Amino acid sequence: MPVRPKILSRRRNVTLLPKQTLDLIKRNPYAYTALRTVRMQAGRFVPPQHVTGVPGRVHFNDFMLVSDEEALRPEGYLGGAESVIALIEEGLSKSGRSFADLRTVLDFGSGYGRVIRLLISRVEPSRVFAADVIREAVAFCESEFGVNPIFPGRGGRLPVIPPMDLIYAISVLTHLPAERGNEVLRAWAKAIEPGGVLLFTTQGPGAADDPTHYGLPESSSADIKARLEKDGFVYEPYAHYLGDDYGVTFHTPEHVAELAARHLPDFEQVAHLPKGLDGHQDVFVYQRRRG
């Protein structure tokens, strides 16, 4: 991996509240939801800006870019994206595919384009699609990087996905309750072309060693592990979000295999990399059989 000069952008800090204050607000999901809504709405009026070392402009609401009091740090932002690109390349290679032969690629859970901004140097933007629950994020990927948008469906419904040679989904199943996750798996299976590749991540038993990394109390580790051993699946809704449809999800590899047998019946597992992404998330690669 090339070494980048540690030059920081002059863009002003985007953190509006100290962490302690934000943690206090999170105790009331109504207050947190209101604050987040105001923050996201305000971000729409701030023009995207260039950050030193990051290709393409960065949206003000792209919270994947870590900030401190004085400047933005692009190293982790780009490093994470480069890790995903490397994993995709490895998964394609194990499947007998490459970036060069992909006609269509979908970043499912694209956000504001952290990975897409690197992907388009390997795959023509006209062959890349972006999908996310945040409509504004998809629109930004379209306008900034020239990729194709797949906007979220109405009323929480999943969008219709056109045929794809590759779908990758980073940190998607890691936040969904069981039935929603199953619905997403079926949507991916329906869209993948014969010979196509599906790459997704989960949080396995190893991730339960440090639940604080995912916003859960340290004391929950033993309980999560016990439930995983019993059921193979654990879902904990975020306490600071309204509703119970978004949280932290853990899967055992055995449970993933069971889900694949039910929802990916025409697929074969090509790779499983425990803690393969950033030392936290498990990586799975499946390929649809040809004919």
The string of pLDDT tens digits covering residues 78-112 is 999 999 999 999 999 999 999 999 999 999 999 99
What is the model's pLDDT at position 72? 59
Cα 267 from chain centre: 22
Compute the distance between CA of residue 55 and CA of residue 53 in angstroms, rounded to an integer: 6
* Confidence check: pLDDT of 221 > 60: yes
What is the model's pLDDT at position 17? 63
Residue keyed to tokens 């490397």: 86
pLDDT over 90 for what percent of the chain? 66
The string of pLDDT tens digits covering residues 141-170 is 999 999 999 999 988 899 999 999 999 999
State phi, psi for 7 to the nearest 5 degrees.
Answer: -105, 130
What is the model's pLDDT at position 13? 40
Compute the distance between CA of residue 159 and CA of residue 149 in angstroms, rounded to an integer: 11
| Token pair in block for residue 260 | 């694949």
The amino acid sitting at 78 is L
Higher pLDDT, residue 33 or 183: 183
Question: Rounded mean pLDDT of the chain?
Answer: 89
CA dihedral 258, 259, 263, 267 (to 10 degrees): -70
Compute the distance between CA of residue 19 and CA of residue 48 in angstroms, rounded to an integer: 24
pTM of the model: 0.90
Instruction: Please report which confidence band the pLDDT of residue 67 belongs to, taking 50, 70 and 90 as the band edges.
Output: low
State phi, psi for 249 to the nearest 5 degrees.
Answer: -125, 140
The most distant pair of C-alpha atoms in the chain lies apart, rounded to whole Å, by 56
The amino acid sitting at 215 is G
Please give the domain boundaries of the chain with CATH numbers for all domains. 19-76 (no CATH), 78-288 (3.40.50.150)
Instruction: Please report which confidence band the pLDDT of residue 76 belongs to, taking 50, 70 and 90 as the band edges.
Output: confident
Task: Write the DSSP string, 70-125.
Answer: S-B-HHHHHHHHHHHHHHHHHHHHHTT--GGG-S-EEEET-TTTTTHHHHTTTS-G
Burial class (CB in 10 A: 0-12, 13-18, 19+), 243: exposed
* Confidence check: pLDDT of 120 > 90: yes
What is the model's pLDDT at position 8? 33
Compute the distance between CA of residue 110 and CA of residue 106 in angstroms, rounded to an integer: 9
* Confidence check: pLDDT of 1 > 80: no
What is the model's pLDDT at position 156? 82
Contacts of 214 (CB under 8 A, 6+ apart): 203, 207, 248
The amino acid sitting at 242 is L
What is the model's pLDDT at position 29? 83
What is the model's pLDDT at position 16? 54
Compute the distance between CA of residue 79 and CA of residue 84 in angstroms, rounded to an integer: 9
What is the model's pLDDT at position 33? 85
CA neighbours within 13 Å on the CB side: how many for 132? 23
Compute the distance between CA of residue 139 and CA of residue 37 in angstroms, rounded to an integer: 18
H or E, element range at 283 = strand 281-288
The string of pLDDT tens digits covering residues 229-271 is 999 999 999 888 778 888 999 999 999 999 999 999 999 999 9
Compute the distance between CA of residue 78 and CA of residue 72 in angstroms, rounded to an integer: 12
What is the model's pLDDT at position 161? 98
Choose among 235, 174, 175, 243: nearest CA to 29.
Answer: 243
Instruction: Please report which confidence band the pLDDT of residue 186 belongs to, taking 50, 70 and 90 as the band edges.
Output: very high
Instruction: Please report which confidence band the pLDDT of residue 12 belongs to, taking 50, 70 and 90 as the band edges.
Output: very low
What is the model's pLDDT at position 253? 98
